[in-house]
């Protein structure tokens, strides 16, 4: 029979390490990659690399590099919408399960693939996070060239945002998120006068971006057939942000968290709300206690909701999504709103074609 001390040590090691449900699981049969909705190609690339025996972190980074380098994705890397000064500033983080190490960069300018710089921080320094000018100099030391990351499309949206500041419908970050009330349809006559050379369709899109800055980001999580896990989150952050603003994506425990014993989690959407609930860590800890990924993402969403006193009128404006991949390959994603919001799906690849699966949600029908 266990004496009191043995019993205590047994429970303590369970509490600190592998959860009861996974204590005996050392492997998963099939590799799985999941990501935010914009990551179908990223998941396919990561899966291809896992199958050829690549490390899980190299696989997810190669996956998100596709999105970072895509000028048409205006929320990640090259082509991302800029800060209020018209400069693209990027945030990214990586976590490598087997070595239990992580790295991140925040508010880095001039580098199209910040996820690669985050990995360099992890591999070559005693630090976890580098920001701003220091992060750029570090990247340059490794041979990366500073490039102009703004595309014509993103610059048009930024100029239209500047124009929107002259109206009552303006979105600006010098007030609380709550105060940034919904704006109406574009005042097309005004915009056409201000930008005669730009077509109406582009102006309508730019107005939408100006007054309802989109959240984007890609979070990608993978487990290979040996049960090894890694994750990455990379973004251009909130459009029109104050220069130097850092979101949740590069914050280990918020935009990303991986524990090799349990699983990984990440987030997209309003980073400030995720930082307040440390979503990535919250989800992994919930899974450690035995919650399935679906319940774990709902748990994080409930904490976001609680910070608004569960007031649905205020929460109505918030876009936030969480993603969870357990070590045994079970996964889920959740968003605050189910019925009338765009981020209702996430990307999954478990060996075949990448596909979208529905998110669970806290509110809506």
**Interface contacts to ligand ASP, rule CB under 6 A:** 75, 91, 215-217, 235, 237-238, 247-249, 268-271
* Least distance from ligand ASP to the Cβ atom of residue 270, Å: 6
CA–CA dist 159, 54 (Å, integer): 43
Tokens, residue 42: 């990223």
| Cβ 91 to ligand ASP shortest distance, Å | 6
Tell the smallest beta-carbon distance from residue 248 to ligand ASP (Å): 5
Nearest to ligand ASP of 190, 314 (CB atom): 314
177 vs 91: CA distance, rounded Å: 20
The SS3 assignment for 208 reads: helix
The least distance separating ligand ASP from the CB of residue 327, rounded to whole angstroms, comes to: 25
**Closest to ligand ASP by CB, 151 or 233:** 233
How far is it, in rounded angstroms, from Cα 193 to Cα 187?
10
Q: Which is nearer to ligand ASP, 237 or 280 (CB)?
A: 237
Q: Of the listed 28, 113, 151, 217, which one is catalytic?
A: 217
Q: CA 219, CA 256: separation in Å to the nearest integer?
A: 8
Q: Work out how close the CB of 239 gets to ligand ASP at its nearest, in angstroms, rounded to a whole number.
A: 9
DSSP state string for 245-277: ---STTSBTTTEEEETTTEEEEEEE-HHHHHHH
Q: Is 156 left (phi over 0), alpha (psi -120 to 50) or beta?
A: alpha
Rounded to whole angstroms, the Cα distance separating 249 from 335 reads: 17
Q: How far is the CB of 336 from ligand ASP (least distance, A)?
A: 13
What is the C-alpha to C-alpha distance for residues 143 and 215, in angstroms, rounded to an integer?
Answer: 30
Whether residue 251 contacts residue 275, with contact meaning beta carbons closer than 8 Å, is answered with yes
Tell me the two tokens of residue 353: 């074609």
Q: Which is nearer to ligand ASP, 22 or 337 (CB)?
A: 337
Q: Is the Cβ of residue 4 or residue 174 nearer to ligand ASP in the bound state? A: 174
CB 247 within 8 A of CB 268: no
Judged by beta carbon, residue 259 or residue 319, the one nearer ligand ASP is: 319
Residue 71 C-alpha from the chain's centroid: 18
Q: Looking up tokens 């979105």, which residue turns up? A: 171
Tell me the closest approach of the beta carbon of residue 53 to ligand ASP, in angstroms.
31
Handedness of CA 181, 182, 185, 191 (dihedral sign): positive
217 annotated active-site: yes
Give long-range contacts, CB 8 A cutoff, 24+ apart: 155-158.
155/82, 155/86, 156/195, 156/198, 156/202, 156/206, 157/74, 157/81, 157/205, 157/206, 157/209, 157/210, 157/239, 158/81, 158/82, 158/86, 158/240
* Cβ atoms of residues 225 and 27 within 8 Å: yes
Nearer to ligand ASP, 84 or 91 (CB): 91
Active-site residues: which are they?
Answer: 217
């Amino acid at each position: 029979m266990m004496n009191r001390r043995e019993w205590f040590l047994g429970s303590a090691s369970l509490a600190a390490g592998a959860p009861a449900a996974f204590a005996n699981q050392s492997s998963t049969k099939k590799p799985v990659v999941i990501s935010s909705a914009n990551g179908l190609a990223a998941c396919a690339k990561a899966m291809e690399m896992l199958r050829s025996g690549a490390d899980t972190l190299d696989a997810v980074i190669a996956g998100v590099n596709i999105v970072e380098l895509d000028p048409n994705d205006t929320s990640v890397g090259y082509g991302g919408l800029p800060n209020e000064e018209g400069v693209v500033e990027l945030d990214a983080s990586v976590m490598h399960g087997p070595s239990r190490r992580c790295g991140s960069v925040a508010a880095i300018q001039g580098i199209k693939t910040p996820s690669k710089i985050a990995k360099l921080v992890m591999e070559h320094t005693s630090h976890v996070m580098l920001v701003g000018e220091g992060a750029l100099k570090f990247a340059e030391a490794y041979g990366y060239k500073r490039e102009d990351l703004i595309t014509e499309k993103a610059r048009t949206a930024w100029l239209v945002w500047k124009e929107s500041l002259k109206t009552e419908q303006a979105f600006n970050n010098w007030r609380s998120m709550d105060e940034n009330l919904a704006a109406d349809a574009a005042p097309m006559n005004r915009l056409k006068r201000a930008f005669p050379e730009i077509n109406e369709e582009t102006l309508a899109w730019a107005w939408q971006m100006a007054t309802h800055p989109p959240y984007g980001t890609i979070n990608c999580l993978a487990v290979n057939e040996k049960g090894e896990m890694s994750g990455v989150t990379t973004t251009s952050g909130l459009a029109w942000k104050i220069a130097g603003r850092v979101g949740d994506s590069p914050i280990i425990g918020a935009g990303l968290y991986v524990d090799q014993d349990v699983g990984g989690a990440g987030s997209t959407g309003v980073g400030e709300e995720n930082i307040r609930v440390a979503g990535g860590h919250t989800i992994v800890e919930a899974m450690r206690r035995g919650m399935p990924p679906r319940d774990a993402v709902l748990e994080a969403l409930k904490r976001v909701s609680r910070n608004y006193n569960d007031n649905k009128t205020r929460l109505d404006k918030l876009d936030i999504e969480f993603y969870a991949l357990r070590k045994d390959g079970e996964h889920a994603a959740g968003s605050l709103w189910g019925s009338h919001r765009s981020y209702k799906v996430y990307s999954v690849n478990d060996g075949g074609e990448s596909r979208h699966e529905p998110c669970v949600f806290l509110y809506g029908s």
